[in-house]
Amino acid sequence: MHLPESGNECPNSYHQPSIETVVSAALPHFMTLMKDTGFLGTTPAIDTFVKIAKQVRFEEAVVHALPQFIPLLKDNDYRVRSASAGAFFMIAKEARFEAAVTKFFPQIVTLLDDSNPDVRSSAASAFSKIAKETRFDAVVVEAFPQLVALLRDSDPDVRSRGVVTFSEIARETRFEAAVVDALPQFIGFLNDRAPDVRSSAVSVFLMIAKEARFAAAVTKFFPQLIALLHDSDPDVRNRAVSVFSEIARESKLATCTSRCNRMTHSHFFSSSF
């Protein structure tokens, strides 16, 4: 047998596969690992998946792996559902995945109705972030009913997160029409038997009252807001006062605020004697 004279020469040279090939081959195993190892094993795998997704060269591999990743949103462990939802939104922020992730948003919307409050709160927080991305406008509007329903949630932290999320979305001028259309749904909340729900609803009015473009929409609900000035719960009363204080800051509403003050004054004295 004739051996090559140099140790650097090999008749059957080995061609090292590209890193893209290696990652593409490994991702299906990552998906299996996420499903079968429980929360402690799933979380590191999810974190790794997100890191891979952030690198442009692995785009194709990530797109192919997404359908295997989505079932984690329905995992029996709420911690896995929450972690996978957070990962999904981080991937969705990358514009190059728009086509791949959009079709999975219906599953994300269902997390707003999840049985676990931490998952509901995390999902609500995520929606306030994607609302800043114009390419997801249709998805955010579609989720409005579930986002509004969070104000009547049984968990106080979820209610608070719902107020913040809805208010942050309202700041985006693109959603002005959708926000105005949703306001009538809050009337029922203003009259809810639970003071915490009434307080959450008033908080939304307080937040949007800071935006001049909602002036006309807010004034339609003055009778209901005035009634809350005499609510049995002090927190509700204080928030209602803050709404009118915020409205009074807008010079465009000076006439309306003056009329409102007269109505409030009259209502106070008529109910005091």
The 3-state DSSP class for residue 140 equals helix
Q: What's the token pair of residue 83?
A: 């972690």
> What pLDDT score does 273 carry?
39
Mean pLDDT, contiguous 10-residue spans, the chain (273 residues): 51 68 77 68 82 90 89 89 88 89 89 94 88 89 90 90 88 91 83 87 84 83 88 91 78 48 47 42
> What pLDDT score does 232 carry?
92
Count of other CB atoms within 10 angstroms of residue 148: 18
Residue type, 130: I
Buried b (16+ CB within 10 A) or exposed e, 76-105: eebbbbbbbbbbbbbbbbbeebeebbeeeb
- The C-alpha atoms of residue 269 and residue 119 are separated, in whole angstroms, by 47
The DSSP string of 53-110 is HTSGGGHHHHHHHHHHHGGGGG-SSHHHHHHHHHHHHHHHTSGGGHHHHHTTHHHHHG
- Global confidence as pTM: 0.73
Longest dimension (CA), the chain: 116
Q: What's the token pair of residue 154?
A: 């049984």
